[in-house]
Amino acid sequence: MGAKRVWSTTGVVALTGALLLTSAPTASADYVRDQQWVLDAYKMDATWALTQGEGVTVAVVDSGVDGSHPDLTGQVLQGKDFTGGGDAQEDVAGHGTGMASLIAGHGHGAGNNAGMVGLAPKAKILPLRVLQKEDDDFEDDTWAEAVRYAVDNGAKVINLSLSGGTGSRTATSGREAIAYAQAHDVVVVAAAGNDGGFTVNEPAALRGVVSVGAVDDKGNLWDKSNVGDGLTLVAPGVEIVSANTNRSDGYSLDSGTSDATAYVSAAAALVRAKYPDLTAGQVINRLIKSASFLHHKGLKAPDREYGYGVIRPNKALTMDIPKGSKEGPLGQLPSSTESKAGSATDGNEDGSTQAKEQDSSSRLPIALIIGGIAAVLVIGGIIFAVMRSRGNRSNGGPGSGGGTPPHGTGYQQYPNTAPNQGYPAPPGQSPQHQNPYAQQPPHQGQ
């Protein structure tokens, strides 16, 4: 069984500081649309002229997705509940519905000019319910089963706006499910975590997974976004409006890497729709190579706080970027068969290998073996005599500083360093330079 993990405001989802849109007595539809700063920041109208995610299914592994929300009608497939029976379109917590709206919300009203619009409004959502209430525990086995179901039911992108918490490790079932998705050409996107820590949480930290941090409307890192080695991209995740049928007005305002993850999944859906011949790894390659550090001058990709940069959906669709390798710049987890094959060579050889080695050693001439043993004994005797002689000549003799040093003195412990040592200066501490990141980040594959 996988290790249980708590669905909390700091570990899994972005509900910390969740606010109703209560600056007006009743949040009007126009007001909701006006609050979606991401649409203006990305000038999405120009991008939607190229594609809106048609023909791509995004699996949302979460608390379920309420397909009856007016901004999601017709976009949500039947899906499956993995919580012990129920309906994948029942969303008690409201989180999965919010993520789906950021990916494929289409608005409502005349000309769909009101309500929530996601970055890929014509993509389909496959709801996979692995959580119910906000404080539910869940196991890796649960979401791992959902990931496999997503792969087997046509999803081309899997959104995991969840995280195991600081220091947690993904169980074998989870790792194998991610590997299964990668082996079947599916883009897997996961949240880096909302702990404000210096480690990217799993499963986002697993090889080949697009791990996502959060930035605000100025492109500066959100203070609770996890950072560290393995961070892939950052995306808008501060004061994000999303659909929520559990609220009286149908919407909520949240901050977190969950929202940022949904936006990256939507960008992946756009790329998959426009370039259906690209592999999952090549889609990731386009997302990475089109990203920008914006005004954060002097960062080197991949950066511990910004990864390869802020996603730019339009550039991901329009830039002249070579396809690159099929596996993409992040590589892939080994499949279960590869893992077993690897373990066979790591001290657990199979019978045929052991037999060959035993057969080879048994053919060595007996005289050579005996001679080798004798030589070892002679050399050992000489070394013993020399060491004994040196020990007797040392100042004070044995027991007064000569001989073997005490435990630990032969190794220097790693010094304690300040949390931010080696990191770029936090946003706001350096001059702002409006120079988009134009240089291709290194180590991205060819």
Positions annotated as catalytic residues are 62, 95, 258
- Helix orientation angle between 257-274 and 280-289, rounded to the nearest 10 degrees: 110
**Do residues 13 and 258 lie in contact, with contact meaning Cβ atoms separated by under 8 Å?**
yes
Neighbours of 274 (CB within 10 A): 19
**Do residues 7 and 138 lie in contact, with contact meaning Cβ atoms separated by under 8 Å?**
yes
Say which residue the tokens 């060959």 belong to: 356
Write down the H helix ranges in 290-332. Answer: 313-318
- From CA 178, how far away is CA 166, in angstroms rounded? 19
Phi, psi of 189 (to 5 degrees): -120, 135
Strand order in the sheet with 57-62: 80-81, 124-129, 57-62, 157-160, 187-191, 210-215, 233-236
Nearest in space to 166 (alpha carbons), one of 204, 223, 222: 204
CA distances, 407 to each of 391, 392, 411, 412, 414 (Å): 19, 22, 9, 11, 16
Element housing 197 (H / E): none
The vertex-220 CA angle with 217 and 226, nearest 5°, equals 115
Running DSSP on this structure, what letter comes out for residue 414?
P
**Do residues 143 and 137 lie in contact, with contact meaning Cβ atoms separated by under 8 Å?**
no
- From CA 267, how far away is CA 265, in angstroms rounded? 5
**Do residues 37 and 255 lie in contact, with contact meaning Cβ atoms separated by under 8 Å?**
no
- Structure token pair of residue 184: 């079947």
- From CA 309, how far away is CA 305, in angstroms rounded? 9
- Structure token pair of residue 361: 């050693």
Nearest in space to 204 (alpha carbons), one of 254, 164, 243, 251: 164
Strands 251-254 and 240-243: antiparallel
- Structure token pair of residue 141: 């086995």
Query: What's the chain's length in residues?
Result: 446
- Provide the CA 37 distance to its chain's centre, in angstroms: 24
What Rg do the C-alpha atoms of the chain give, in angstroms?
27
